[in-house]
Amino acid sequence: MGKRLFGTDGVRGRANVAPMTADMALRLGAAAGRYFRRDGSAGHRVVIGKDTRLSGYMFENALTAGFASTGMNVFLLGPVPTPAVGMLTTSLRADVGVMISASHNPHHDNGIKFFGPDGFKLSDEAELEIERLALEGVEPVQAENIGRAKRIDDGRFRYNERVKSTLAPGQSLAGLKVVIDCANGASYRTAPEVLWELGAEVIPVGVSPDGFNINHKCGSTDTQLAAETVVAHGADVGICLDGDADRVMIIDENGTVADGDQVMALFASRWAAEGRLKGGALVATVMSNLGLERFLQGHGVGLERTGVGDRYVVERMRAGGFNLGGEQSGHIVMTDYATTGDGLLAGLHFLVAMLETGQRASELARRFDTVPQLLENVRYSADADPLSLVGVQNAIAAAEARLADSGRLLIRKSGTEPLIRVMGESEDEALLRGVIDELVAVIGAVS
């Protein structure tokens, strides 16, 4: 049976529209509480974090009620980055962690992500069971066994110290002028604090959340503000995070953007040279550029590709014993330090590379020349399935044949939005543009 509620990164949708309703959040909380309290004993814990969306208040309270109704004790972290939830789940010896966030999506969306007691996102099997329990209903505990809830006021400070501890003892960022764009999201306090405490001159943007402006004209998906700020202030580098701070984009001193592929290329080549790249390979998704693959081959580093979604990257890393992976979109996963993508952590280690090499951001952030890549999104209605139609399948097959000798094509449904993502790569840009435009027109006509 396929999952009905969970996508590639938890349950996500428009707030107050099914499935992202307060009722469903309560059901999911009760279901997860029942799943992680299967032995019926007391003392079980859940930690809940959130980003800065207005709807976060509603979902936080609904989840708390659901968990408490099954006897789970709830620790509320308030606004913290997603990687902080993974870290604090293990630090606080909790059975489960929850992050309320729709990541890079606009404010009117929200989502619920679950972490297991090891701090890693749940498996498909666990999500399926929680989904089943949520849809079928969970019997609450007796009144005397209802769980308690309390605020954890120092959660972000614990996270800050953990991130700083990944640097060498005494490592300072003094002398670096850094623009940090927090997307008016979960890192609006943590990221500027960490950079300042490490000695950098900090120029913060996107640090005034109002419940509605998360990811709006700022952050890793809209880097113009950060790029302009870097140039205007003569900064050495810019670090752009998304709404829940598990993604990063790097801005060099000229205002040029480096995506996750370039950052992974830098880390993989440095770690391989230092003998600390476990498994001799980087784990990335099918979306990563062909140029990255060629760069890694030139440095004797393998590339393990997975389906799209940082959870699949992490699953492959854990199964194969790899310690570096991520996505072109900016999820950088370093399992020596964290259980999920961490934008601030990756940004800090980029700054360390600048200091250790003495090179400018523009020199470090351009590891390879990208193969021309185009990505177009086609929105479809909830009751449509464009990729199942024979006409669309025939068009895709014809497009693949046209690109066969010069590139590749990837067509997939988004796991977080009702979008068909049409991506292609080719050295022949004119051919690529034509192929993508034709496919978008065919899919759009039936969507």
pLDDT per residue as tens digits for the range 131-154: 999 999 999 999 999 999 999 999
142 and 275 assigned to the same domain: no
Q: Is the pLDDT of residue 40 over 70?
A: no
25 and 102 assigned to the same domain: yes
Please check whether residue 348 lies inside any domain of the structure: no
41 and 120 assigned to the same domain: yes
Please check whether residue 70 lies inside any domain of the structure: yes
Encoded tokens for 194: 């960490």
Q: The dihedral of CA 34, 38, 43, 49: what is its sign?
A: negative
Cβ atoms of residues 313 and 285 within 8 Å: yes
Domain boundary among 254, 286, 308: 254
Please check whether residue 243 lies inside any domain of the structure: yes
Q: Could you list the residue range(s) of the whole structural domain that residue 313 is in?
A: 260-342+359-364
248 and 267 assigned to the same domain: no
Encoded tokens for 330: 């900016």
Please identify which residue in the block is written with the tokens 């590139």: 407
Cβ atoms of residues 141 and 165 within 8 Å: no
Please check whether residue 6 lies inside any domain of the structure: no
Please check whether residue 353 lies inside any domain of the structure: no
389-434: per-residue pLDDT in tens?
A: 999 999 999 999 998 877 889 998 887 778 999 999 999 999 999 9
Residues in the chain: 447
325-373: per-residue pLDDT in tens?
A: 999 999 999 999 999 999 999 999 999 999 999 999 999 999 999 999 8
Catalytic (active site) residue 329: no
22 and 149 assigned to the same domain: yes
59 and 137 assigned to the same domain: yes
Residue 276 pLDDT class (50, 70, 90 cuts): very high
Please check whether residue 229 lies inside any domain of the structure: yes
Please check whether residue 2 lies inside any domain of the structure: no
Domain boundary among 102, 133, 153: 153
Cβ-Cβ contacts under 8 Å for 163 (sequence gap 6 or more): 190, 194, 342, 344, 345, 348
Residue 2 pLDDT class (50, 70, 90 cuts): low
215 and 301 assigned to the same domain: no
165 and 280 assigned to the same domain: no
Domain boundary among 200, 220, 254: 254
104 and 201 assigned to the same domain: no
C-alpha of 332 from chain center: 8
Tally of structural domains, the chain? 4
Q: What pLDDT, on a 0 to 100 scale, did the predictor assign at position 379?
A: 92
Q: From 380, 374, 382, select the one nearest 426 (Cα to Cα).
A: 374
163-189: per-residue pLDDT in tens?
A: 999 999 999 999 999 999 999 999 999
206 and 296 assigned to the same domain: no
C-alpha of 39 from chain center: 32
Q: From 367, 361, 362, select the one nearest 296 (Cα to Cα).
A: 367
Q: What is the mean pLDDT of residues 276-293?
A: 95
Catalytic hit among 69, 103, 187, 426: 103
Q: Residue 425 belongs to a domain with what CATH number? A: 3.30.310.50
95 and 198 assigned to the same domain: no
Please check whether residue 3 lies inside any domain of the structure: no
Q: Residue 137 belongs to a domain with what CATH number? A: 3.40.120.10
66 and 190 assigned to the same domain: no
